[in-house]
Structure 1
């Protein structure tokens, strides 16, 4: 029987909206710190419980998917990290927290799975706070827009195309002039800036991966 307990919250003093802005070149290194924290969770003696999706069939949990709307597990988080699917640090933390909150929602307090989730959740929040504490403060929005205006045209063509799609979604696409697409960065809010900066980070990670390949 699912418990009626609320989902776990961040400990006192933890920022309600964690800062997840990073210069594009710094994001890969920050995600590597996330990788180390995730490995710590998986290597914990209780980590195996959350390493794979819940097998509702073999465990005969017929009501699981009706109680848990968005299943998540640390193995899926690990694969998403490997595939560079996280555009920022906050999206990584959201998936890890969902893994443990799902377990604490479906299981009763005092059950082994509930207590394991609570224990690993505390370990995660402690490590996550350390990661956040090391992040730089974000520059003003105007500075971010100006940097994107300078750096986006230098992206590979495929990533420039993705940038155009993002800008079209907010009505920031103007027109194509002499083969170049012009966009209105003044229309980009912070959420859109996050997406565009992720493209810069993705390009940086591809460049770094290529450099490593050349050294092998």
Structure 2
């Protein structure tokens, strides 16, 4: 997908005077599929995908899609109190880091993409991550949410494995789930974050919609230093 809507990304960054590459941090609980999301967006293996209970991402790593867009994959939370404290500190440090352009300091990370697990009914860790870590370090208008593993929603029922797409009943469920998540985020964080999009990195389903979501909510201006 390195050429998908490339001209749109270039045009938006130029018209808004944004620094480039635009830096997007991926955050989420362990097992949400941040690495597989990167691989789906890039169309190749740029990040190792963990299996079982042994996640691959233990520190923040960067991958550049092209000269205008760069992603930073962070360690997942949910691996224990001490590990979570360490990972949260690293995420906060990166979100608060700065860069200098023409003798002016700006926030280095332009956006945060929070990835949720479509197969999980317990989103407490994700909401806690948003409220306690992400929104403490970057403004809500620079935060978007997406739900991976749409194929695992409803315990995997109504997912057509032969076509790699959800059947109508699952689509209805997912659409309602996105509205529910948006409302729960408003109640728990007091911030109206854009309605999430859903996708499946494993099946490369709706990943165009994920990129559209990122482009649609690109910042209006450079991020000021906090």
- State which structure, 1 or 2, has the greater radius of gyration over its C-alpha atoms: 1
TM-score, normalisation: structure 1: 0.24
TM-score, normalisation: structure 2: 0.24
More strand per residue: 1 or 2? 2
